[in-house]
């Protein structure tokens, strides 16, 4: 007896549901109606956002908070092009985000007839910013391409995936039924010979320094053992922030862009970089990080092992597994950190170099830290306070501070925070944005109000595109295009029916944040930088 036919649209949604997706962020249109029929039948939650870019950012926030794939649905054409920035952000930061789009009817594809929402090659646009991009013409291709998409989402290095399905195919019937697709593969076992060579280098190191990226997030225990045995130091990227508690005396924190840390790295005789790209966006400098010591790289991604940071020993394999093996028979020694001093002194040295605005931002970040529980989570935007927060916001565990590091897309914070709050309603969630960048996606306050999401949106208002202004000045360019007339943020939040406050001091920021996290619905807290008091 064969099953009653489903639409392909329903088949797609049921396949998502059968593979751990419980929420879809999106905006419906006439082209993807059949996905919405599927949503209803499969009983998946749909979150209506106010722009397709934000569907992507919200799914990204959901995926970063949970470390599970998240999904967004968009229409053909503008829905896809609007979502591209979010796909690129997720690609650069290794986030598993699935975008399912419709496309125009099959016989029109590639014909340039000028049908509604037409692109010449919609899949090709998405292919540049995803690990897998499919474009199906039959139900069987939908099945196979969903399998390929989930393989990319669940790969050793998770990345976004894309699938488009013509609207007439979405409406077609199929007897296909969802399958549980292969789970994530076990961590890639590190190459034994290379690991032995790494252990040999580490055994002789007098001044070992470890650099941990997002790929080493699960390596906290092994890193602690290695740091304590070898008297060495740890530096993390922003994606690796908190892998070892930042109060640990060996953890110099996410400080790669700072000179004292670069000098410390230059003084190391062995540097072990695990699960990190060592990319320009990790260093925030276009110059290469000087690594005169021997360099060991440990990464699942072979591309990283062959890049411009040439390793003395390159180990392909899972960072946590590799570090555990190295920690298993590490030789204890004393010398470097005991002599040089612990991380607290190093951090103080960096903080002592901050100028006046820097000190205000530091005080605001401490006020934010004080208002949040240990597992409270911050999604930050491209703003000066977040660049400082990448280092100065104290993280005692991984997964509490997220930044759009790789692609650097303005407007990320609020929609991503909304996605995380939907995934984990029990956690305190804050979005931290600048006065200019927040206006890229501020309309998502409406989504948070509608869903009664208790998200605090902190706007660091320095009345300028601050970083760009400072960069222009530093380059000897007369500042132009860096001061924008702002709306009254508090009044605007009220118009959305969100809570709001304007604060001028660190103490008031902590108080208002605590109140915001306690009340239902979102609250915008404008922090006035010009006359901000540090206490």
Ligand X SMILES: Cc1ncc(C[n+]2csc(CCOP(=O)(O)OP(=O)(O)O)c2C)c(N)n1
Q: Helix (H, G, I), strand (E, B), or coil: what is residue 60?
A: helix
CA atoms of 98 and 488, how far apart (whole Å): 36
Does 324 engage in binding with ligand X (CB under 6 A)?
no
CB 299 within 8 A of CB 319: yes
Q: How many residues bind Mg ion (CB under 5 A)?
A: 4
CA atoms of 475 and 473, how far apart (whole Å): 5
The DSSP call for residue 156 is S
x-or-dash string of contact with ligand X, 331-370, rule CB under 6 A: ----------------------------------------
Two tokens, residue 138: 């039959």
Does 436 engage in binding with ligand X (CB under 6 A)?
yes
CA atoms of 327 and 343, how far apart (whole Å): 21
Two tokens, residue 344: 């607290």
**Neighbouring residues of 426: CB distance < 8 A, sequence distance ≥ 6:** none
Identity of the residue, 237 or 462, whose beta carbon is nearer to ligand X in the bound complex: 462
Closest distance of CB 435 from Mg ion, Å: 4
Identity of the residue, 94 or 441, whose beta carbon is nearer to Mg ion in the bound complex: 441
Which residue of 19, 360, 383, 441 would you call a contact of ligand X, by CB under 6 A?
Answer: 383
Q: Helix (H, G, I), strand (E, B), or coil: what is residue 497?
A: coil
x-or-dash string of contact with Mg ion, 368-407, rule CB under 5 A: ----------------------------------------
Q: Helix (H, G, I), strand (E, B), or coil: what is residue 294?
A: strand
Q: Which one of ligand X, Mg ion, none is in contact with 240 (Cβ closer than 5 to 8 A by kind)?
A: none
Identity of the residue, 222 or 409, whose beta carbon is nearer to ligand X in the bound complex: 409
Does 524 engage in binding with ligand X (CB under 6 A)?
no
Phi, psi dihedral angles at 37 (to 5 degrees): -60, -40
Which residues within the stretch 465-504 sit at the binding site for ligand X (CB under 6 A)?
465-468
25 C-beta neighbours (distance < 10 Å), count: 33
Does 437 engage in binding with ligand X (CB under 6 A)?
yes
Does 464 engage in binding with ligand X (CB under 6 A)?
yes
Does 409 engage in binding with ligand X (CB under 6 A)?
yes
Which residue of 462, 500, 505, 510 would you call a contact of ligand X, by CB under 6 A?
Answer: 462
Region from 5-13, 199-207, 261-269, 435-443 binding ligand X, contact rule CB under 6 A:
435-443
Closest distance of CB 461 from Mg ion, Å: 7
Does 416 engage in binding with ligand X (CB under 6 A)?
no
Which residue of 318, 435, 444, 512 would you call a contact of ligand X, by CB under 6 A?
Answer: 435
List, in sequence order, every residue forming a beta bridge with 460; answer none if it has no partner: 434, 527
* Of 65, 124, 56, 27, residue with least CA distance to 407: 56
Does 410 engage in binding with ligand X (CB under 6 A)?
yes
Q: Which one of ligand X, Mg ion, none is in contact with 384 (Cβ closer than 5 to 8 A by kind)?
A: ligand X
Helix (H) or strand (E) holding 132: strand 132-135
CA-to-CA dists, residue 81 to 126, 156, 199, 412, angstroms: 8, 27, 47, 16
Region from 90-98, 113-121, 185-193, 406-414 binding ligand X, contact rule CB under 6 A:
406-414
Closest distance of CB 416 from ligand X, Å: 14
Closest distance of CB 132 from Mg ion, Å: 37
CA atoms of 214 and 277, how far apart (whole Å): 9
Region from 28-36, 60-68, 413-421, 458-466 binding ligand X, contact rule CB under 6 A:
458-466
x-or-dash string of contact with Mg ion, 216-255, rule CB under 5 A: ----------------------------------------
CA atoms of 316 and 310, how far apart (whole Å): 14
Which residue of 408, 425, 487, 520 would you call a contact of ligand X, by CB under 6 A?
Answer: 408
**DSSP letters for 433-470:** EETTGGGGTGGGHHHHHHTT--EEEEEEE-SS-HHHHH
Which residues within the stretch 405-444 sit at the binding site for Mg ion (CB under 5 A)?
434-435
* Of 269, 266, 231, 272, residue with least CA distance to 249: 231
Closest distance of CB 466 from ligand X, Å: 3
Q: Quick one: CA dihedral 391, 392, 395, 399, positive or negative?
A: negative
Does 38 engage in binding with ligand X (CB under 6 A)?
no
Radius of gyration of the chain (CA): 24
Closest distance of CB 162 from Mg ion, Å: 33
Q: Where are the beta strands (DSSP E) in 334-392?
A: 377-380
Does 32 engage in binding with ligand X (CB under 6 A)?
no
Does 432 engage in binding with ligand X (CB under 6 A)?
no
Which residues within the stretch 449-468 sit at the binding site for Mg ion (CB under 5 A)?
462, 466
Task: Characterise 465 by phi-psi region: left (phi > 0), alpha (psi -120 to 50), beta (else).
Answer: beta
Which residue has the closest beta carbon to ligand X?
434
Two tokens, residue 482: 């860096």
Identity of the residue, 435 or 444, whose beta carbon is nearer to ligand X in the bound complex: 435
Binding site for Mg ion (CB under 5 A): 434-435, 462, 466
**Residues of the shown chain interacting with ligand X in the complex, contacts defined by CB under 6 A:** 382-384, 408-410, 434-437, 460, 462, 464-468
């Amino acid at each position: 007896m064969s099953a009653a036919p489903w639409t392909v649209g329903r088949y797609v949604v049921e396949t998502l549901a059968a593979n751990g997706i419980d929420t879809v962020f999106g905006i419906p249109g006439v082209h993807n109606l059949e996905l919405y029929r599927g949503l209803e039948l499969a009983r998946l939650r749909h979150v209506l956002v106010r722009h397709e870019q934000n569907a992507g950012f919200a799914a990204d926030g959901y995926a970063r908070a949970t470390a599970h794939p998240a999904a967004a649905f968009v229409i053909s054409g503008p829905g896809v092009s609007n979502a591209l920035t979010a796909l690129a952000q997720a690609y650069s930061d290794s986030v598993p985000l699935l975008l399912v789009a419709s496309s125009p009817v099959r016989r029109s594809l590639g014909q340039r007839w000028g049908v509604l929402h037409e692109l010449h090659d919609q899949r090709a646009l998405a292919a540049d910013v995803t690990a897998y991009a499919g474009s199906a013409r039959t139900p069987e291709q939908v099945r196979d391409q969903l399998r390929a998409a989930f393989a990319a989402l669940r790969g050793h290095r998770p990345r976004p995936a894309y699938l488009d399905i013509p609207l007439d195919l979405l409406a077609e019937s199929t007897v296909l039924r969802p399958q549980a697709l292969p789970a994530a593969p076990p961590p890639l076992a590190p190459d034994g010979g290379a690991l032995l060579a790494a252990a040999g280098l580490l055994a002789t190191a007098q001044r070992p320094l470890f650099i941990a990226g997002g790929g080493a997030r699960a390596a906290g225990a092994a890193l602690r053992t290695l740091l304590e045995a070898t008297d060495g130091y740890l530096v993390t990227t922003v994606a690796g922030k908190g892998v070892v508690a930042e109060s640990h005396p060996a953890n110099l924190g996410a400080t790669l862009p700072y000179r004292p840390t670069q000098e410390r790295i230059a003084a190391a005789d062995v540097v072990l970089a695990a699960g990190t790209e060592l990319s320009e966006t990790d260093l925030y400098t276009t110059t290469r990080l000087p690594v005169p010591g021997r360099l060991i790289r440990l990464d699942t991604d072979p591309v990283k092992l062959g890049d411009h940071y040439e390793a003395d020993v390159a180990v392909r394999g899972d960072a946590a597994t590799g570090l555990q093996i190295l920690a298993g028979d590490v030789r204890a020694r004393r010398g470097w950190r005991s002599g040089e001093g612990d991380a607290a002194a190093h951090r103080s040295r960096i903080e002592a170099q901050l100028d006046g605005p820097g000190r205000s931002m530091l005080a605001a970040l401490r006020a934010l830290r004080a208002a949040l529980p240990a597992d409270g989570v911050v999604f930050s935007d491209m703003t000066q306070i977040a660049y400082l927060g990448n280092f100065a916001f104290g993280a005692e565990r991984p997964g509490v501070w997220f930044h759009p590091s790789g692609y650097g897309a303005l407007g990320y914070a609020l929609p991503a925070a909304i996605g995380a709050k939907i995934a984990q309603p029990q956690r305190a969630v804050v979005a931290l944005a600048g006065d200019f960048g927040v206006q890229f996606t501020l309309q998502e306050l409406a989504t948070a109000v509608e869903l009664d999401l208790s998200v605090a949106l902190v706007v660091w208002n320095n009345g300028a595109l601050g970083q760009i202004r400072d960069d222009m000045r530093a380059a000897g360019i007369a500042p132009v295009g860096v001061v924008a007339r702002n709306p009254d943020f508090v009044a605007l939040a009220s118009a959305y029916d969100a809570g709001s406050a304007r604060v001028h001091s660190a103490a008031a920021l902590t108080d208002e944040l605590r109140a915001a996290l306690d009340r239902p619905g979102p609250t915008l807290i404008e922090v006035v930088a010009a006359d901000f008091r540090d206490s």
